[in-house]
Amino acid sequence: MVVLVLGSAWTLASRDADPAPTSVGAPPSPRQGFSAPEFSLEALDGSVVTLSELRGQPVVVNLWASWCLPCQKEMPAFERAYEDYKDTGLLILGVNLTAQDSEAAARAFVAEHGLTFPILLDRDGKAARAYQVMGLPSTYFVDRDGIIQSVVVGGPLSEASIRSRIEDLLTGS
């Protein structure tokens, strides 16, 4: 009874006057509910991709390296998902950790797996630092507002897992 009375009083006293999510206005951070950290990287085709310029479309950011076995295993599933969902506006960005890999190895990897989505080169490791990468692959599912909806560190992700998360991004659930 004491817990109920004091607990109710504390619950009311500690109400949040500003019910907006606490991550709103917070610095970008690589975790669910926060704005995805910004990056601007050169792609294999020479174009430059800036994450913030993609607001309005859901984006999957997959950080990988050619020597990473789980990355090799999950990449075909990402390619199939991209083929099926690209018409919905979904974009998959494969960010190669070039600082720990090599551009030549990344190109060979892309050719071997027949990847058609943009492959970006993180030459100086800036994106890896911004995303606090602790293991590869690391995948971030970012919604139309630039908010991270789901983070998966490690892999390989199953195709069903990838598609489920993409569906959630598209439906906004």
Partner 1 sequence: MLPVIRLGPVVLQLPGLVLLAGLWFAISAMEKEAKRLKLDAEAIIKILAYAGAAGLVSARLVFAARRSEIYLANPLGLLALDAGTLDLAGGILVGAVVAFILGRRHLLPLRSTLDALAPGLAVLAISVGGAHLLSGEAYGNPTALPWGIDLWGARRLPTQVFEIAAAAAVFAAWGVSARRLSMPGAAFLLWLTLQAAAVILIAAFRADVAIWAAGVRATQVVALALASAGLVFAFQWRRADAGKAGGSRRVSGSSSPRTHQRS
Q: What are phi and psi of 64, to 5 degrees?
A: -150, 170
User: Which pairs with CB-CB distance under 8 Å and at least 24 residues apart come from 100-104?
Assistant: 100/65, 100/125, 100/128, 101/65, 101/66, 101/67, 102/66, 103/44
Q: Is 159 in the site for partner 1 (CB under 8 A)?
A: yes
Q: Are 63 and 136 in contact (CB under 8 A)?
A: yes
Size of the site for partner 1 (CB under 8 A): 44
Q: Is 147 in the site for partner 1 (CB under 8 A)?
A: no
Q: Are 86 and 55 in contact (CB under 8 A)?
A: no
- Using the rule CB under 8 A, which residue among 56, 94, 116, 135 binds partner 1? 135
Q: Is 19 in the site for partner 1 (CB under 8 A)?
A: yes
Q: Is 56 in the site for partner 1 (CB under 8 A)?
A: no
Q: Is 8 in the site for partner 1 (CB under 8 A)?
A: yes
For partner 1, the closer CB: 89 or 154? 154
The site for partner 1 (CB under 8 A) is made up of: 1, 3-4, 6-8, 10-12, 14-19, 22-23, 26-29, 31, 33-34, 68-70, 134-136, 150, 152-155, 157-161, 163-165, 167
